[in-house]
Structure 1
Amino acid sequence: MSHSRMPALFLGHGSPMNVLEENPYTECWRHLGESLPRPKAIIAVSAHWYTRGTAVTAMEKPRTIHDFGGFPQALFDTRYPAPGSPQLAQQIADALSPVIVHQDLEWGFDHGSWGVLIKMYPNADIPVVQLSVDATKPAAYHFELGRKLAALREQGIMIVASGNVVHNLRMVRWGGGENYPWAESFNQYVRDNLAWEGESEQHPLVNFMQHEGAALSNPTPEHYLPLLYVLGARAKGEAVSIPVDGIEMGSLSMLSVQVG
């Protein structure tokens, strides 16, 4: 089956302005969409759907959510009308059992998901189901959910998770400037441990708060946790690569990770 296994991606999404701009990150996302095998459907995991409990978007036609302020009107006018898939929503719920998965009919696609998918698949013609990130659970739980989703990769389903492994907006250098040493150090720690294999309990990226730069790099964990779904979904010995990397405004890592 492995020849048909879909890749799993974590994309550092950065500013919503990436939707309107062309830069090395958006070029990378576009290239991934053009060069990877075309998925039958996509499971999107976004930092911006941070919930109590676990939910999936279960509607036929998810709305485009503009969950940001102070940006140009063109950004608010942009829609990503990809179809939903109640069938895939149910498949995810079955795969994650005994976790109770709420079939959500309200949410839609937030900018963490559609902001990258609009570059990868601009025609919006691949069904997408978004999976929420349960804020009440520890890091190991998110890794374990990734493991449970791994089997869906064999069925033509791509996992596209999105966040930023370093995300400290309070310390952003808006005009640009030097990267903070803790940001570079933590970003390198993530890079160094992507291919680690062993027991999940000791995985250095599950136990990421042990790193001295982790607390400043992730004052809250929601932008980091989507990475763990992708690492959890990795098969033993499967290749891990870095399509693009970079730190913006001193404290925002644009690192992207490809499994498979």
Structure 2
Amino acid sequence: MDTFFIGHGPVKVIIDETIPVRSFLQAWKSDTLPETPKAILMISGHWDTLDTPTVNGLASEPNDILYDFTGFPEFFYQLKYPAPGAPHVAQRVKDLLDTAGFGPVKEDKARGLDHGAWIPLKLMYPDANIPVCELSVQTGKSAEYHYKLGSALAPLRDEGVLIIGSGHVTHNFKARGPEDKPIPKWASDFDAWFKDALLNGRYDDVNTCEKVEGYKMNHIKPDHLFPLHIALGAAGEGAKATLMHHSWTDNVISYASYRFTAGQ
């Protein structure tokens, strides 16, 4: 099973057909991954536990979802995504990370799926019939830490688990502007640097991206970037990156989405 990093989009991507990433996510089952995974592990930029990895989805009952957004019409707070939890995967994640020295991994039995997980999944797998659990990021740690954490999860690929990092390559939410304005150089340069580094296999550079000019401007907090490092690490040594989708909204938010195919 390949691993993936997707630009998950805003909440309104559920209904707004003008957001380019929407059609990419809707075509997922037919164009990207026709095979049905046994379970899905989501790593979302909207779950940050600072320095301790944490998993949810520990019950086989349908996951609760979090309406972790404000100011939207009532319609959005009526949406559901009752995918079952994936307790066997959550426990497997915990065991793999504990064994690799990332533990003790915590369990959050009360937390539902945040919108960085369930919003894209609702477009990708609308039947909500695939078990899902979620793993947090830790913004108190480094990009390299997250790559190594992902590497510890590589065995899940052979067990039919689809690993998806959900975030954005650029994510300065405070700098959003009108769509008709040119993309600022600090955003386009950072996005282009990541594309070049990934497609040319410069993963040591990717894993020390904190040194790259524009890092802090694009990520006041790196919560939306570290899911990429986990997905890349989980693809294993010699993985090949492919750009699957690329678009922008809000003048500064990149939707660059990547597939990581394991090396032979």
Q: Same fold (TM over 0.5)?
A: yes
Distance 1:65 1:176 in 2: 32
Aligned with 1:30 (options 26, 47, 52): 26
Distance 1:41 1:164 in 2: 23
Q: Deviations over 1:186-245 (max 9, x none)?
A: 0001101114547x6xx1111112211211111111111110011111233333211111
The alpha-carbon distance between structure 1 residues 206 and 72, as it changes in their structure 2 partners (threshold 3 A), is: same
Match of 2:166, SS state, is: strand
Q: Deviations over 1:22-43 (max 9, x none)?
A: 3431111122223412100000
Asked if residue 130 in structure 1 is aligned to residue 134 in structure 2, the reply is yes
Specify every segment of 5 or more residues in structure 2 that has no aligned partner in the other structure, as ranges.
none
The residue type paired with residue 196 of structure 2 is D
- What is residue 103 of structure 1 aligned with on the other side? 107
Question: Displacement of 1:14 after TM fit?
Answer: 2.4
Distance 1:197 1:179 in 2: 26
| Preserved CA contact (<8 Å) 1:44 1:159 | yes
- What is residue 87 of structure 1 aligned with on the other side? 88
Matches within 5 A, 1:1-260: 6-22=1-17, 23-35=19-31, 36=33, 37-52=35-50, 53-57=52-56, 58-60=58-60, 61-97=62-98, 98=101, 99-174=103-178, 176-197=180-201, 203-260=204-261
Distance 1:227 1:238 in 2: 13
The residue type paired with residue 7 of structure 1 is D
| Preserved CA contact (<8 Å) 1:46 1:130 | yes
The residue type paired with residue 71 of structure 1 is F
Match of 1:230, SS state, is: helix
Question: Displacement of 1:83 after TM fit?
Answer: 0.3
The alignment yields a C-alpha RMSD, in angstroms, of 1.5
The alpha-carbon distance between structure 1 residues 176 and 111, as it changes in their structure 2 partners (threshold 3 A), is: farther
Question: Displacement of 1:153 after TM fit?
Answer: 0.5
Match of 1:170, SS state, is: helix
The alpha-carbon distance between structure 1 residues 118 and 258, as it changes in their structure 2 partners (threshold 3 A), is: same
The runs of at least 4 consecutive aligned structure 1 residues that moved more than 4 Å come to none
| Preserved CA contact (<8 Å) 2:172 2:218 | yes
Distance 1:103 1:196 in 2: 37
Give the % identical residues: 33
| Preserved CA contact (<8 Å) 2:9 2:120 | no
The residue type paired with residue 7 of structure 2 is G
Aligned length: 252
